[in-house]
Amino acid sequence: MRAVVVRTFGGPEQVGVEEVEPPEPGAGQVRIRVEAAAVNPVDAVTRAGVLTGAGLVAEREVTGIGWDVAGVVEQLGEGVAGFGLGDRVIGLRDRLDVPLGTHADQVVLDATAVAAAPDGVPVVEAAALPLNGLTADQALDLLGLPAGATLLVTGAAGGVGGLAVQLAALRGLRVVAQGAEADREALLGLGAEWFVPRGAGELAEQVRALVPGGVDGALDAALLGVEALGAVRNRGAFVALSAGRAPVALRGIRVAQVWVAADGEALARLSTLAADGRLVLRVGAVLPLGEAARAHELLARPGRRGAVVLVR
């Protein structure tokens, strides 16, 4: 089968597509014929060697790329229940010790990392759900805010941020979305109650003008750190993505980072929301697997909106 790999860390030019042996599912695993797989920022930092440099990925001759997958079950390992051959599924590859990723013709995942694909949703859109959706959902769980609480989402037009706005609104949270002015109407349409434009002044002051005393919590998808922390009230809650460094827990604010974990049950709930039209999944570009290097180039372009997705 074909697989997207990196042999030398660096820029998009280091991304290659090679012929490798197809993986075989073990007990409790499924092999999926990949139809679509989103390209995410974590794929870029993997390609650049950041994860290996940080000790999160073991040094190896060949490093596989890709976390998200949408496709069809084509082989079942021993003891797998709940899935059958030919089932359309989505899943998340979160194990960094596995040498190959989802940017391939086939991938093996634990059955617990897989869920039924959302009915009626195009496969390229479904492929954009697992990583960003689970990250947003688990970040909201860490925040632990009750319905009616106020939440700032930075980078709200991005992959994680856009789903966080929608999921927060579905939880009954009152959302302040931060993003580019061009994204104002879209973010309000996704469920944000307020909008603050990026680069129009101090973020904390903008937010506090809307929510006196500060918001109850912040989900910092833009990795703004202390700039976003300033918008949170004393003894509030703050969650940063794992790609950035969490700020010091000033003013009694509870600070955490979200390290996404594959969760088939949670993914199934997100899939149902997408199938029901309650989650909007945005795709900006679709490329064949053989153009993976170009997909990495597109990923780095400023102002990009919607996921970049590879298809077979």
Show the tokens assigned to 116: 């039924």
Report the predicted TM-score, pTM, of the whole model to 2 decimal places. 0.96
Query: Where does residue 225 fall: left (phi above 0), alpha (psi -120 to 50 degrees), or beta otherwise?
Result: left
Both 297 and 246 in one domain: the answer is: no
Residue 270 included in any domain: no
Both 136 and 230 in one domain: the answer is: yes
The three-state secondary structure class of 41 is helix
Residue 82 included in any domain: yes
pLDDT tens-digit series, residues 43-96? 999 999 998 888 888 888 999 999 999 999 999 999 999 999 999 999 999 998
Both 123 and 138 in one domain: the answer is: no
Q: Quick check: 92 and 112 in contact, CB under 8 A?
A: no
d(CA 273, CA 299): 26
Residue from 306, 311, 312 nearest 285 by CA: 306
Both 119 and 136 in one domain: the answer is: no
> Would you state the pLDDT for residue 290?
96
Q: What is the DSSP string of 211-227?
A: STT-EEEEEETT--THH
pLDDT greater than 90 at residue 283: yes
Both 55 and 91 in one domain: the answer is: yes
pLDDT greater than 80 at residue 303: no
Residue 224 included in any domain: yes
Please state, rounded to an integer, the average pLDDT across all residues of the chain: 96
Q: Quick check: 179 and 224 in contact, CB under 8 A?
A: no
Both 84 and 201 in one domain: the answer is: no
CATH number at residue 75: 3.90.180.10
Least confident among 10-14, 98-102, 108-112, 244-248? 244-248
> Would you state the pLDDT for residue 93?
97
pLDDT tens-digit series, residues 162-189? 999 999 999 999 999 999 999 999 999 9
Q: Please tell me what DSSP assigns to residue 113.
A: G
- Number of domains into which the chain is organized: 2
d(CA 260, CA 244): 14
Residue from 142, 172, 152 nearest 217 by CA: 152
Q: Please tell me what DSSP assigns to residue 22.
A: P
- Decide which of 273 and 51 is more confident: 273
Q: Quick check: 197 and 217 in contact, CB under 8 A?
A: no
Side-chain half-sphere CA neighbours of 251 within 13 A: 16
d(CA 54, CA 120): 40
Residue 37 included in any domain: yes
Rg of the chain in Å (alpha carbons): 19
d(CA 282, CA 190): 12
Which residue range is the domain that position 216 belongs to? 132-258
The three-state secondary structure class of 42 is helix
Q: How many CB atoms lie within 10 A of CB 172?
A: 11
